[in-house]
Amino acid sequence: MPLEALIFDVDGTLAETEETHRQALNATFADFDLPWSWDQPTYRRLLRIMGGKERLRHFIEHDRPAKAEAALAALPKLHAAKNERYAALVAAGDVRLRPGVERLIREARAEGLRLAIATTTSLANVEALLAATLGPDARRIFEAVAAGDEVATKKPAPDVFELAVRLLGVDPSRAIAFEDTVYGLRAATAAGLRSVVTPSFYTDDQDFSGAAAVFDTLGDPGRPARHLGGAGAGVTMVTVPFLRTLSP
């Protein structure tokens, strides 16, 4: 079937945002007088829990840090404050798109492909990142945005990808998902999508068996992608013509 749409995850896929999320969390902990600090190993462990609010709840309930009960009671405010911190960091230019992302988006639009987002993060976080990296009109680039606060169950459940294809009105077999985590890969697969995976800083140790193709990045002229698995040995840039070869 012909390729009609590309559906992108956000955190770790469009941009290496997770370290910015971690910094925003630690600053928010200090603002709320919580004696916590998530180092990189801790954050890597907690990223197994999909969704920012869910991740915080898991940490509070399972790690039982100091002031756990007070933090649990204030969880909605804590999470909202963290998102405000994150948006400010993104607006300040702390985050850039990963190599090849902007090029592929431009190429896909020129080829008439439809674009969507499927993410566990909130709509506010999506809009903050898009505006900071692709400009104030970036939201118009994506016909559909399926965010984590719009579905009942987050990745690895397929809900957010199923919502994205439903909003686009395309058959999943005519779309390709872009992910950076094994949980996102499982979600896309369960929704009937093939996936191109570009592992990120916090997910480079995960098993991406089952992905249609795996590269370190999408690649750009002068910044070639490195093939890591699946189809595409010898490919140095993920392009629309290459993606069409992945169609069943």
Q: How far apart, in whole angstroms, are the C-alpha atoms of residue 237 and residue 99?
A: 10
- Is 207 part of the annotated catalytic residue set? no
Q: DSSP letter at 149?
A: G
Does the annotation mark 11 as catalytic?
yes
Q: Which one from 11, 159, 204, 220 is the annotated catalytic residue?
A: 11
Task: Tell how strand 213-215 and strand 227-230 pair up.
Answer: antiparallel
216, 236 contact by CB (below 8 A): no
Q: What pairs with residue 145 in β-bridges?
A: 117
Which DSSP string corresponds to 25-94? HHHHHHHTT------HHHHHHHTTS-SHHHHHHHIIIII--TTHHHHHHTHHHHHHHHHHHHHHHHHTT-
Distance CA 150, CA 231 (A): 33
Q: Which residues are marked as active site? A: 9, 11
